Amino acid sequence: MKRCVHLALGTLLLGCAQEPPRWIHLATEYEAVPLAEPLVVDAHTSVHQAEDPAALWIERTIEPGAWEPGKLPGTWKTTYSLDTYRRRVRLLHGEQRFQRATGAELRDPSNLPVDTFYLRKDQIHLHLDGEGPPPPAKLQVQIERGRREDGAWRTVVMDTVGACIPVLPGRRESLVLDLPPNSSLRFYVAGRLFERPPEDGTTRKARFLVSLDGEEIFSAEQPVLPRSRGTWHQVTLPKRARSAAKLEFALEGEAAFGAFFSPVVGPAEVGGYGQRPWDNARPNVVLFLADTFRADNLAFYGGDPGLAPRLNALAEKSVRFRRAWSPASWTLPAQGSMLSGLWPPEHGAELHQTAVAPELVTLAEHLARHGYRTGAITDAAYVSANFGFAQGFEWFIENKERNLIESLHQALEFLRADDGRPVFLFVQTYRTHSPYRIGAIEDGGPWRDLMRVIDFQHRASERKGEVERRELAFIDHADALFELYRKTVRALDVQVGPWVERLETLGLFDPGYLIVTSDHGEAFGEHGDMLHGGELWEEKTRVPLFVYSPELAPRSVDFAATLVDLPVTVARMARIQPFESWRGRSLLELDEDRTVFAFDRDKDPSGPRMTLIDGTRKVHAPDEPEAWGEGNFDRAFDLEQDPGEAHDLARENLPWPAEMVRRWAEFRAGLVPEVGPRGVELDPEEERRMKALGYGN
């Protein structure tokens, strides 16, 4: 169980000059009622309650005449149109359930067992015993209706995850509640057809409806295919208070599943950011993370001043942390720490198919419980709901196309849909992550051209018996890769600079904070290493970190900082008590140095690794219990004299490296998992996206 204290369900009160504002979170009041009877959508389609109360079966009837013989004896095939992406599928005849073929069976369909089926492109293939055609069958595809998490009903539609009221065609979802005077209903609508996307790209729309005590107060068409984003809406409610009012939500016009995300009844008049009609408004916080962004991309960290001039100018107006490190050298454990406030061995998301466990309390969850409106736009892959990153965000968008312009646009739309609550917004982008895409249009052609050269060299070398690892071919082209990488940095700078100006125009920092950082860096041949993950060298664990606010005097901070500090820091910014289990310190209150750590348990062939940084001294050591107390270490460096880790002091018989490891052995032994690890299953599409980012090859 999560250790937490919930606020009164559905409402939040803040002190104010006049009458305090009130927000009613409808997703906390909603409870999905199981379908007692199938919901008939059309002559061939119906919706059934699944065994899991949080799931539904979409059912399509397949008549015997729809089948045609396959190439092999006893096999049959027919086309189907239901959308099966990321969903369970089954084929039934009465009480009989045909078995779906496994991966091994699919490699040789000629040996497919009897009464087995598989899907390929837009066809169902079925193997029967005998020559007769298949009997009447039903294809069922499971969708998630949602489930209650942390007090609110949550589900996923297309690329949106969050607190919501889900809707099905021909069915109304209703709530009865007391409406305060002078209020508005705000929400974000998104939908997805039961069908697969049409090949011609035709836009299909469903109509979303809201009624109050039987009177329609909202109606709007929303695209549900092809891939489309939802839209934000505000509906002004009657000025007078209304007791036991009945709100109904519906979807019409298409066989689709939809949701009213982040549905909140709040004050109709909220002013603007920095101009609230009540007192004591908490500050807004925006966390912008450029994945794989080396610290030395910025002038403050020793980089070329002309590479990212807009970010450099913003950093000059900010509180800058000169010595900031990630707790890992790749995305999942690093950002897991950044949002959970725990070191990687504690939150447990350290291997490629593990996730941040729902039992942990994240920064977003903690802020939401204290009245914050929480939103996130990420580039998916590891930073996705699948890996636990949507926890606590009432609105979470996964931009699977990884287009930064789209992410920044979605972030602005979220902010413009202001309902008066203070905001916590998280924006993560793979804009500077491989495969490097250059320019405003994010052109991947130069990367693909270079990969063809690298792959050709790798294959030729293997034939000669000279190269065993593809990474060695990468090192031969490190300069060309680095130049592509620098072009992604320039493009990010061009796009983010004007976006920050728009945040200021909205008044978001009156009061408010913008935190800019990265989760790790990128190697380009230093130490014979490429890209990220694995060994914890400075080029991979050193990150930029600065905080901008008009209320903060620009300055440079030399005390050691880590991404683990961010939850405590943001809680202090928001004037709330940090959650009890979080590690770290408030960055804006640092007054002394301390030891910081980094860990890798996934990629390094030599086994689990860790680094300790204490002042200017850094030690690389095996991350094994028997090594801690013995003071075992592999490498040692003085970062003040040797910031590039070129001169290993391990052979100089200095006493301090072993002493550092022994001194922190007890602390390291106390970094144990808060909960057991949670595994993640990836479907083929998700695996493809991971491989495109360089993971799982």
**What would the pLDDT profile of 243-274 be if each residue is shown by its tens digit?**
999 999 999 999 999 999 999 999 999 999 99
User: Residue 570 half-sphere exposure, CB side, CA atoms within 13 Å?
Assistant: 32
Whether 636 has a pLDDT exceeding 90, the answer reads yes
Give the C-alpha separation, 608 to 171, whole Å: 53
How high does pLDDT run on average in the chain? 91
Whether 394 has a pLDDT exceeding 50, the answer reads yes
What is the per-residue pLDDT for 15? 36
**Do residues 572 and 561 lie in contact, with contact meaning Cβ atoms separated by under 8 Å?**
no
What is the per-residue pLDDT for 482? 97
39: helix, coil or strand? strand
- Rounded to two decimals, the pTM is 0.93
Taking residue 463's Cβ as centre, other Cβ atoms within 10 Å add up to: 9
What is the per-residue pLDDT for 16? 39
| Structure confidence at residue 572 as a pLDDT band (50, 70, 90) | very high
CA-CA-CA-CA torsion sign (103, 109, 113, 117): positive
Q: How far is CA 61 from the centre of its chain?
A: 36
Whether 524 has a pLDDT exceeding 90, the answer reads yes
Query: Which letter does DSSP use for residue 564 in this model?
Result: G
What is the per-residue pLDDT for 677? 77
**What would the pLDDT profile of 10-55 be if each residue is shown by its tens digit?**
333 343 345 568 899 999 999 999 999 999 998 889 999 999 889 9
Mean pLDDT confidence for 370-398: 96
Amino acid at 624: E
| Structure confidence at residue 227 as a pLDDT band (50, 70, 90) | low
Bond before 511 cis per omega within 30 degrees? yes
Mean pLDDT confidence for 560-578: 98
Q: How far is CA 520 from the centre of its chain?
A: 16
What is the per-residue pLDDT for 564? 98
Amino acid at 688: R
**What would the pLDDT profile of 308-354 be if each residue is shown by its tens digit?**
999 999 999 999 999 999 999 999 999 999 999 999 999 999 998 89
What is the per-residue pLDDT for 438? 95
Taking residue 575's Cβ as centre, other Cβ atoms within 10 Å add up to: 11
Mean pLDDT confidence for 72-78: 90
What is the per-residue pLDDT for 445? 96
**What would the pLDDT profile of 164-185 be if each residue is shown by its tens digit?**
999 999 899 999 999 999 999 9
What is the per-residue pLDDT for 464? 58
Give the C-alpha separation, 78 to 66, whole Å: 6
Q: Among 423-427, 538-542, 675-679, which stretch is predicted with the lowest mean pLDDT?
A: 675-679
- Of residues 653 and 459, more confidence is placed in 653
- Of residues 676 and 610, more confidence is placed in 610
What is the per-residue pLDDT for 226? 65
**What would the pLDDT profile of 584-620 be if each residue is shown by its tens digit?**
999 999 999 999 999 998 755 668 999 999 999 999 9
| Contacts with 644 (C-beta within 8 Å, 6 or more apart), sequence order | 526, 538
Query: What are the phi and psi torsion angles at 215 (to 5°)?
Result: -105, 130
What is the per-residue pLDDT for 6? 36
DSSP 226-242: SS---EEEEEEPPSS-E
What is the per-residue pLDDT for 603? 58
Whether 89 has a pLDDT exceeding 60, the answer reads yes
Mean pLDDT confidence for 373-396: 96
| Structure confidence at residue 73 as a pLDDT band (50, 70, 90) | confident
Give the C-alpha separation, 607 to 522, whole Å: 21
